[in-house]
Amino acid sequence: RCFGPCVDGNRDAYHEIVDQVIMVLEGRNAELEQLLRGRMEKCSQQLEFEEAAKVRDRLYALRQTLEKQRTVNVPGAEDRDVFGHYVQGRSVEVQVLFFRGGRMIGGRSFSFRESEAPLEELLSSFLFQYYKQALAVPAEVLTPIALEDAGALAEILTEQRGTRVEVRRPQRGEMRALVDLAMRNAKSSFEEKQLAGEAQRDLLEQVRRDLKLKLPPRRIECFDISTIQGQKSVGAMVVFENGQCNKARYRRFAIRSVEGQDDYGMLREVLLRRYTRAVEEDDLPELALIDGGKGQLNVAAAVFKDLGIEDLDVAAIAKARSEDGGHSLERFFIPGRSNPIILPQTSEVVRFLARVRDEAHRFAVTYHRKKRGAATLRTMLTDIPGIGPKRARALLSRLGSVAGIRAASEEEIAALPGLGQEVARAVKRHLDTKQVGSEDEQAAARSA
């Protein structure tokens, strides 16, 4: 079984494995091999043969992995980027393999769909854009085709790196073999993405069938409300497109018109604000998913009727109450049906939509904590005699957090613009006696 905390695994064993993975990623392979050998010998001496066998297997797997890396250690430039491509119709997949210290350490692929540009023009333009944002420039760049702008690109990269950079297209030998490897990887990447795309389309079609939707939900907008007794209430919207989250389209809503604990009123406000704008911009999704039950579904249906978008598919997702303390079922509510839809809980549809709902909940709770924390921070500081909103902002701007202010000396605080010795003394006296204890104060400390 997994050692992870989510399955109540051994925390110490889990962190040990994480630390060992980090050592591999940092290139500390020899150090890790020595560590595992020592552990294996110690277990054997203590007659813990089962544990010694586990460590032996881990050491063997590590050596296999490292041996595979050593097989691609090619002489020449220590740092090298190797590019390959694969073309199918108007789709182009570009693959780059990274060699650092003479050893291949990984790669990355880029997809271009519906491309009209000639291959040489597309690849040349891509390379200029790619290295404009690259954190590191290698000494050598290998390309699969000859580029008319290779000389200009080499000059730019030489200036970025500070030493000579060569851009060339190898035609034979080991360098050409590396380009061929990048070409094969580009084809594999394209085929994997095609298969993944087909799987996502199949999943969305299954969502359509199970929830009786008009269209496969290419774009899903999911909403959640976060509040504690009506205080600092917020709404959140997350967006999934083609089965993947699109964080650029996430939105947060500070509740403006509802006071007190009125979840339905808050949801109505959020949906009105979002879909009034969506109607104006002709930017409607295929599915609006609400975290809640039948009551929340009815609120959404009423909002959509008011806005004249009754044909927009909407569904609510809720967990059934579990009286025996076991796992609760995910239930789906749709308009025109009194009873919930209960699907096999292991189905891909349930897992996918639960993941969408959980992401909306996470996003809403994070925003709620931030708002509460910011309000508590301001209150903690403005409670100090002589500290108003302006001085509170100055303290936080210069010292970063309440913890930073508490750690600063009285002289450091007094030296800040607009404060002085008397105010600094009051700040220190107040914070030295103030303990971070309540839930809101802990949220403030976290956000700080």
Give the tens place of pLDDT for each residue, 138-175: 999 999 999 998 999 999 999 999 999 999 999 988 88
The DSSP 8-state label assigned to residue 331 in this structure reads E
Is the distance from CB of 221 to CB of 285 less than 8 angstroms? yes
Spatial distance between the Cα atoms of 447 and 368, rounded to a whole number of angstroms: 11
CA angle, corner 210, sides to 207 and 216, nearest 5? 35
pLDDT at 436: 45
Residue 434 has pLDDT above 80, yes or no: no
Min mean pLDDT across 40-54, 95-109, 410-424, 428-442 is at 428-442
Ordered alpha helix ranges (H), 211-243: none
Most confident listed range (21-25, 65-69, 200-204): 200-204
Tell me the C-alpha distance between 431 and 441, whole Å.
Answer: 13
Q: Residue 115 pLDDT more than 90?
A: no
Looking at every residue in the chain, the average pLDDT score rounds to 83
Range 227-231 average pLDDT: 56
Inform me whether the pLDDT recorded for 260 exceeds 90.
no
Instruction: Cite the DSSP H helix spans in 28-96.
Output: 29-45, 49-70
What kind and span of H or E run contains 271? helix 263-280
Spatial distance between the Cα atoms of 230 and 422, rounded to a whole number of angstroms: 38
pLDDT at residue 97, as a whole number: 92
> For residues 446 and 36, which has the higher predicted lDDT (pLDDT)?
36
Residues 6+ apart with CB under 8 A from 105: 69, 98, 99
Helix then strand then coil, in percent of the chain rounded to 5, is 55, 20, 30
For residues 212 and 304, give the distance between their C-alpha atoms in angstroms, rounded to a whole number.
18
State phi, psi for 415 to the nearest 5 degrees.
-75, -10
Element (H, E) at 423: helix 421-433
In whole angstroms, what is the distance from residue 91 CA to residue 190 CA? Answer: 9
Q: How far apart are CA 160 and CA 139, in angstroms?
A: 11
Question: How high is the pLDDT of residue 96?
Answer: 95
**pLDDT value at 184 more than 60:** yes
* Torsion angle in degrees (nearest 10) through CA of 137, 141, 143, 147: 80
Report residue 3's pLDDT band, with 50, 70 and 90 as the boundaries.
low
User: Does residue 342 have a pLDDT over 60?
Assistant: yes
Question: Using CA atoms, how far apart are residues 242 and 236, in angstroms rounded to an integer?
Answer: 20
Contact 324, 315 (CB under 8 A): no
Closest to 131 measured CA to CA, from 106, 150, 112: 150
Amino acid (1-letter code) at residue 77: A
Q: Which residue has the higher pLDDT, 425 or 381?
A: 425
How sure is the predictor about 439, in pLDDT bands with cuts at 50, 70 and 90?
very low
Distance between CA atoms of 226 and 292, rounded to whole angstroms?
A: 12
Cα Rg of the chain (Å, integer): 29
pLDDT at 133 over 90: no
State the average pLDDT over residues 229-249: 85
Span 90-114, average pLDDT: 88
Give the model's pLDDT for residue 4.
Answer: 63
pTM: 0.57
Nearest CA among 391, 390, 373 for reference residue 427? 391
Rounded to an integer, the average pLDDT of 242-265 is 87
pLDDT in tens, 63-98: 777 655 544 556 666 788 999 999 998 899 999 999
pLDDT at 59 over 80: yes
137: which 2 tokens?
């420039």
- Of the candidates 116, 307, 86, 68, the one whose C-alpha atom is nearest the C-alpha of residue 184 is 86
From edge to edge, which strands make up the β-sheet containing 140-142? 103-112, 91-100, 80-88, 140-142, 166-168
Q: What is the pLDDT of residue 77?
A: 63
The more confidently predicted of residues 17 and 279 is 279
3-state SS class at 409: coil
